[in-house]
Amino acid sequence: MWINVLLIFVPIAIALEFLAAHQYVLVFITSSLAILPLAGWMGQATEQLADRMGEGVGGLLNATFGNAAELIIAFVALHAGLHQVVEASIIGSVVGNILLVLGAAMLAGGVRYPEQHFNPLGARSHATMLMLAAVALVLPAAFQAAAGTTSVMLHRLSVSFCVVLLLLYVLYLVFSLITHPGQFRSSDTAEDGLPEKAEEKASHSVSRAVAVLAAATVGTAWMSEIMVGSIEPMVHEFGFSDVFVGAFVVAILGNAAEHATAITAALNNRLDLSFSIAAGSSVQVALFVAPVLIIASHFLGPAPMDLAFRPGLILIVVLSVLVTAQISGDGRSDWFKGAQLLVVYFALALTFFFLPS
């Protein structure tokens, strides 16, 4: 595969990081190119797992491994006390997955196929979970504005909300993987299992896919960390706001694996996997990654974070969830729907791009 040639940029990025860290542009370019083949590996491994375990589990696995890089990046930022960047990256990841990733997948798949279909039950379940997450983000900010509560009370409220969100995420996993997996199964998947002759080969391919997925995740996380370390001094030199950097730069780069995998799946007419990756990753960020980071901030860095995110960030989450739910509710997709999602995403990005630093 030609993209594997770009693996040469992995050692180059590492060398620049240790020997010429002040060359921010070169470090950024080489680490970005290094992520592309690693993301491709993750995509191939996830598709193999989806073949064996189903679209829902495959999408969940990809979302989990894809968000590992983002968690590492956020932990580093927390330790440095960059709470606003972490906050913006959380929101940017949720918005980017359901608008940018899903929009790009629908557009790419729609160019090749006139119309694609996915399971509408799973789409509505994901949309409901995202709306619940949006409500959980709105309430702490509204409570702070209405009650003018002290930081101590706000931190207690945030930790309590985090516990509730983590419990909801566990219930979501039980629902989607154990009690009601049919709601997240591909609309084109047959009920028959693998042929008996292929069982041994499939078992071997699953083990290999897991190993490749794990190795690619480690490499992606490392390259993402190097990349983000070069982004902050580079973009601040141009006067960008921390909201734009966190929500529309760090979030995109931290989720490069999901971008590549979702688009590849859509090109292979597997929009169920694309939707599961995009929406499932947003659900995971909102219900798992964000609470974990809020709780971890009490042990990392100079001060703890809270869930009272800035109103502008909360607004774009609510708008994104409403738009995505409206477009995906009928279980069908074409290139124009993808273009609509992308237009909304780039409109939001332009708004925050011109926001004063």
Burial of 273 (0-12, 13-18, 19+ CB in 10 A): buried
pTM of the model: 0.79
Q: What SS3 state is found at 354? A: coil
Q: What is the rounded CA–CA span in Å between residue 240 and residue 34? A: 25
Residue 193 is predicted with a pLDDT of 44
- Note the pLDDT of residue 257: 63
- pLDDT on residue 208: 83
pLDDT score recorded for residue 29? 83
Residue pair 338/105 in contact by the 8 Å Cβ criterion: yes
Question: What value, to the nearest 5°, has the Cα angle with vertex 250 and ends 36 and 238?
Answer: 110
CATH number, domain containing residue 182:
1.20.1420.30
19, burial (CB in 10 Å: exposed 0-12, middle 13-18, buried 19+)? exposed
182 Cβ partners below 8 Å, 6+ apart?
none
Cβ atoms of 338 and 108 within 8 Å: the answer is: yes
What is the span of the domain harbouring residue 343? 2-189+198-353
Coil/strand/helix, residue 188: coil
Give the pLDDT of residue 163. Answer: 93
Per-residue model confidence (pLDDT) at position 192: 44
154-158: Cβ within 8 A, 24+ apart: 154/306, 154/308, 155/298, 155/304, 155/306, 157/306, 157/307, 158/294, 158/305, 158/306, 158/307, 158/308
With tokens 């995009």, the residue in question is 278
Our count of domains for the chain comes to 1
Residue the block writes with tokens 């609510």? 318
* Encoded tokens for 270: 């597997």
C-beta separation of 74 from 89 below 8 A: yes
Tokens of residue 250, six digits: 């760090």
Half-sphere exposure of 106 (CA within 13 A, CB side): 29
H/E stretch holding 13: helix 9-19
| pLDDT given at position 60 | 65
Largest CA distance in the chain: 66
- Per-10-residue mean pLDDT, the chain, length 357: 80 90 83 80 72 63 64 77 84 91 93 89 84 85 75 86 91 82 62 45 68 83 79 73 79 71 87 85 88 88 83 89 87 92 93 80
120-147 helix and 311-328 helix, angle to the nearest 10 degrees: 160
